[in-house]
Amino acid sequence: MPPHYDAIILGAGGAGLMCAAVAGQRGRRVLLIDHADRPGKKILISGGGRCNFTNVHTAPDRFLSANPHFAKSALARYSPQDFLDLVERHRIAWHEKTLGQLFCDGSARQIVDMLLAECAKGAVELRLGKPISAVEHDGSGFRVTCDGAVATAPKLVIATGGPSIPKMGATGFAYELARQFGLKVVEPRPALVPLTLGGEDVLFRELSGVAAEVVASANKIAFREAALFTHRGLSGPAILQISSYWRHGQPIAIDFLPNHPEGWLLAEKKARPKASLRRVLGGALPERLAEALAERLGVAAELGNVTDRALTEAERRLSAWTFQPNGTEGFAKAEVTVGGISTAELSSQTMAAKKVQGLFAIGEGVDVTGWLGGYNFQWAWASAHATGQAL
């Protein structure tokens, strides 16, 4: 007889570890399987090695999903404070960086160790480094084959994440399983990802390494943060955020002067009629960017010799500069995936599949994607907690 468990969880990332710990501590016999040789690999590289483990401003409107209401229940039942309490119980020092983002003072390794300690408290059995060759369902329970060994359970949790950063072991396995069990998948696409520039915009690649605070907008959503020019296009927090909302073929708009009131250039003309646009912009923006923008605006004369109309038009363009990205840097560089297992298939209370008795899906594999800044881990913890309590 193959070993029998109350639940088998596939994927030992943030969501799988949390779910296993919660269920194990509720007395469930849990097997947690991952094909990687170590658990929580994405946690280890997250937040520049310090793991931005949650965001105090977590709210449902900071998540993208075909059903914007889906995440509400789980997020309300497991809050950033709940995770912070856990972090503090493990005496992990932390700090708030900007915009409500909480990081470890030390290392992301502390978060993985904490989750492993919680799993150990729940006597979770961990099986690492072996590929899963088959997942079957015979109507009453699940049978998972891993490296020739079979395990069975009446409950199965899909926690294998999304395909972002395949070199970390990320796969589309969650979607394959979902399809195998007849669950719909919302088309996955890379998110929190740099955008690439082509055509006329290609000239901006010369600015590689230049950063500025901007407002980036697309599809009526705007983010005010830093943007960074790269050798392939645009990156930086403002661009990563807007990339999740951007669709192929659409433009994005950049306000290069978010701190300057309307009519600023006309006021400068009065105050400094002998100054060039390039010099005036140089006071507001990095020198190389000021030079490139002034050149593209074609305003070379001293401000005093430029018509008010031309200056007003220049200011309008500077506050809504249009880029036409020709793509993204893809899953290889995406922090997360937008789309995934359709929320229409799942209970928002427990993440249980409506059609398949005993099947659950949590974390990034589900069509819920957070903004940059700790929101994605908060979704992983909250969805995992909801399922952990239902197993």
* Separation CA 351–CA 368 (nearest Å): 12
- Residue 233: how many CA atoms within 13 Å on its side-chain side? 22
**Tell me, what amino acid is at 79?**
S
Of 156, 162, 210, 213, residue with least CA distance to 23: 156
Per CB under 6 A, 388 contacts ligand FAD: no
* Residue 178: Cβ within 10 Å count: 25
Q: Residue 364, interface with ligand FAD (CB under 6 A)?
A: yes
Closest CB to ligand FAD: residue number: 13
Q: Is 330 in the site for ligand FAD (CB under 6 A)?
A: no
Positions 14 through 43 that interact with ligand FAD (CB under 6 A):
14-16, 34-36, 41-42
Min separation Cβ 12 and ligand FAD, Å = 5
Cβ distance 17 to 113 under 8 Å? no
104 to 133: interface string for ligand FAD, x by CB under 6 A: ----------------------------x-
By the rule CB under 6 A, 242 interacts with ligand FAD: no
Distance (Å, whole) CA 102 – CA 374: 7
Nearest-approach distance from CB 55 to ligand FAD, in angstroms: 8
Residue closer to ligand FAD by CB (options 36, 221) is 36
Q: Does 236 bind ligand FAD (CB under 6 A)?
A: no
Cβ neighbours around 275 below 10 Å, total: 17
**Which of 157, 314 has the CB closer to ligand FAD?**
157
- What's the rounded Cα separation, in Å, for the pair 141 and 6? 10
Using rule CB under 6 A, residue 160 touches ligand FAD: yes
| Residues 215 and 255 sit within 8 Å (Cβ to Cβ) | yes
Q: Please give the DSSP secondary-structure letter assigned to residue 371.
A: P
Between residues 80 and 233, which has the closer beta carbon with respect to ligand FAD?
A: 80
Q: Which residues in 265-324 contact ligand FAD (CB under 6 A)?
A: none
CB atoms within 10 A of CB 232: 18
User: Phi and psi (nearest 5°) for 118?
Assistant: -65, -35
Alpha-carbon distance of 359 to 158, in angstroms, equals 8
The reply on whether position 45 binds ligand FAD by CB under 6 A is yes
Q: Which is nearer to ligand FAD, 111 or 281 (CB)?
A: 111
- Candidate list 135, 170, 214, 216; residue touching ligand FAD; CB under 6 A: 170
Q: Residue 193 or 207: which CB sits closer to ligand FAD?
A: 193
The 10 Å Cβ neighbour count of residue 366 is: 33
The residues binding ligand FAD (CB under 6 A) are 10-16, 34-36, 41-42, 45-47, 51-52, 132, 159-161, 164-165, 169-171, 173, 335-336, 363-364, 374-377, 380
